[in-house]
Amino acid sequence: MLAVSRHCRPDRLYSLVKTLVSGEWSIVKTIHQLTMEESLPTGRTKTSVSAWVDAVKVPTIKQGQLFEDERAYLIASEWGVDNLATKKSVTFLKYYTLLKPLGAPVQSLIKESERIIVETPPTPIESKLTAYSQSGRRKAVLVEVGSGSDAYDILQIWNQNSMEKTYDLKELGAHKAIYSSGSWGSTMVWNPEEKKILYLAEKKVRKSDPFFTSYSRRKLDDPDPDDKENMARGHEYDFRQTWGEQLENSYNTIAVVLDIDTDGFRYFTLPNNDFACDLQWVGNNSFIGLSLTDSVWRLGLIYCANRESRIFQC
């Protein structure tokens, strides 16, 4: 994967910072005054809001990948920017082509006079996550359908010409949403031969019914030892730990391997309720990942990832 920093031209960044800190009324002071006074001096609110709108327009990199052939480098990058009108984040793609000088070493590419860059305009996309194969000939696209509690994921497989396959993960019913946040490292990757996809999803918990229903009463009066649903009665209010602020829906994970040729799914969970994340292939049939050790009390991860962990292999 390609590491890319926050994108902003130096002149624009300087202008933005100057706007934020110049004068008596910076954004911080404006927010402080809002809590202390009933109203602001005329014109100051507009200036502060305008500066904040400019700051929100700066896109942030979500992921990227570098491809190489004999003649050029291709950088595929995925960015996110906030849409203030809809109060949602918009994802867009940008591609950069870096042509290699014929007969010159790679180090010469850093010379401005020998560098030719072809840059495509931003292209909005509706996907939550995109994973490219190593050759760039295939990609997996995760699309969210619906909204709120009715939202579910569709996994699309694309080649260079068209869409190959589509998997309705709600219909499959084996797990909950696929992890797409960068907080968990690599959550969807192709194996080297580009026939399997490894992804990370939220583990599905069996629905629990209360004891005090007529249906449950019948089950208790005439229990069936082969009925595994009896084990889930009365657990609807059990407390389950998450990983804190901004990760409230992250309880426990399951690693899934999808074989594109056979449409087969294999599921891997860790013992002791450990939390798997940051997956990578080792060859075509094995993978490794990071395992966060479960504890009596989980501490939030969003601002401090220094937690007990270990490497696992499946």
Task: Give the model confidence (pLDDT) of 10-52 as tens digits.
Answer: 344 334 334 433 433 344 444 344 444 445 555 677 777 778 7
Averaged pLDDT for residues 69-87: 80
User: Is 42 part of any domain?
Assistant: yes
Average pLDDT, integer, range 190-218: 78
Least confident of 67-71, 128-132, 194-198: 67-71
Q: What is the pLDDT of residue 47?
A: 77
Supply the DSSP string of 26-58, one letter for each residue.
-HHHHHHHHHH-S---TTHHHHHHHHHHHHHTS
> What is the reported pLDDT for 214?
60
Q: How confident is the model at residue 189 (pLDDT cuts 50, 70, 90)?
A: very high
In a domain, 23, yes or no: yes
167 pLDDT exceeds 70?
yes
Instruction: Please state the domain count of the chain.
Output: 1
Q: How many CA atoms lie within 13 Å of 17's alpha carbon, on the beta-carbon side?
A: 7
Residue 197 resides in a domain: no
Examine residue 35 and state whether it is found in any structural domain, yes or no: yes
Q: Radius of gyration of the chain from Cα atoms?
A: 25
Mean pLDDT of the chain: 74
Q: Residue 285: CB partners within 8 Å, gap ≥ 6?
A: 191
**Residue 5 counted as domain residue:** yes
- Are 264 and 240 in contact by the 8 Å Cβ rule? The answer is no
- Residue 258, pLDDT score: 92
For residues 240 and 128, give the distance between their C-alpha atoms in angstroms, rounded to a whole number.
26
Q: Write out the two tokens for 213.
A: 């229903």
Average pLDDT over residues 165-177: 85
Residue with token string 């700066």: 58
Dig out the tokens for 61 from the structure: 């990199």
- Owning domain of residue 20: 1-56
Q: Flag whether 48 is in a domain.
A: yes
Question: Residue 215: its pLDDT value, please?
Answer: 54
The pTM of this model reads 0.65
Residues 15 and 9: beta-carbon distance below 8 Å = no
- Tell me, yes or no, whether 7 lies in a domain: yes
DSSP3 helix / strand / coil % (the chain, rounded to 5): 20, 35, 40
For residue 227, tell me if it sits in a domain: no
Distance CA 140, CA 282 (A): 19
